[in-house]
């Protein structure tokens, strides 16, 4: 799935393209500034070959891999992406940095062997994340996981496993927090304009306005 969108702040066009793996239905996104071909990959599902084919077909210049959180299904393809794309920066919220830098699983329920990554950058609300000509605002939206973030650029927001079309993320894990999840969605996401397109970690795209009106978990 792809969608082109005018990008007034950059003077070009923002292209968003999606791959989803068959096992978990987890979305990975290629976000490209078509005026420069600078791009970021958001999340790394367990079928990285789909994303690699897309990057090569678009001749995208991947400047960073950004993670909305570090559940297995969102980082399963990370090492393959790094191996093929070269030493691109990997960024995550500090609350989940140790999953990457120390190989410490986010969940006891889904432990996995994951070799430590030496250079991990921070995604912080204190400052936008710049990757070439792309600049993304970081919104800390924990609750599903401690370091869950949403990434906003223009009228597009990538919500990971916080907000879905018609649903919200799980909060029944040991290190989840249902109250923080709802609070983050209400304060950080539903405050965005109604026409903001929501690209989540699973399922189809939606809009902030539609979720504000119809999402049964937010009524």
- Predicted confidence (pLDDT) per residue in 61-116, tens digit: 999 999 999 999 999 999 999 999 998 999 999 999 999 999 888 987 766 778 88
Sorting pLDDT into bands at 50, 70 and 90, what band is 3?
A: low
pTM of the model: 0.94
Counts of helices then strands in the chain (DSSP H, E): 6, 15
CA-closest candidate to residue 188, choices 210, 162, 213 = 162
Domains and CATH numbers, the chain: 2-218 (3.60.15.10)
Indicate the burial class of 11 (C-beta count within 10 angstroms; 0-12, 13-18, 19 or more): exposed
Q: How far apart are CA 203 and CA 25, in angstroms?
A: 7
């Amino acid at each position: 799935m792809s969608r082109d969108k005018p990008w007034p702040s950059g003077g070009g066009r923002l292209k968003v393209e999606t791959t989803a793996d068959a096992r978990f239905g987890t979305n990975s996104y290629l976000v490209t500034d078509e005026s420069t071909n600078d791009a970021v990959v958001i999340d790394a599902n367990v079928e990285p070959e789909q994303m690699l084919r897309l990057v090569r077909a678009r001749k995208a210049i991947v400047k960073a891999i950004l993670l909305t959180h570090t559940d297995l299904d969102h980082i399963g393809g990370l090492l393959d992406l790094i191996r093929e794309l070269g030493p691109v920066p990997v960024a995550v919220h500090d609350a989940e940095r140790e999953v990457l830098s120390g190989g410490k699983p986010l969940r006891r329920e889904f432990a996995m062997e994951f070799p430590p990554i030496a250079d991990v950058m921070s995604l912080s609300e204190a400052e936008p994340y710049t990757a070439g000509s792309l600049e993304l605002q970081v919104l800390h939206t924990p609750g599903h996981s401690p370091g869950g973030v949403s990434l906003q650029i223009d009228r597009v927001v990538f919500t990971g496993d916080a907000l879905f079309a018609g649903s919200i993320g799980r909060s029944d894990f040991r290190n989840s927090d249902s109250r923080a999840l709802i609070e983050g969605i209400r304060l950080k996401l539903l405050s965005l304009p109604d026409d903001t397109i929501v690209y989540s970690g699973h399922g189809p795209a939606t809009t902030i306005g539609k979720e504000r009106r119809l999402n049964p978990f937010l009524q």
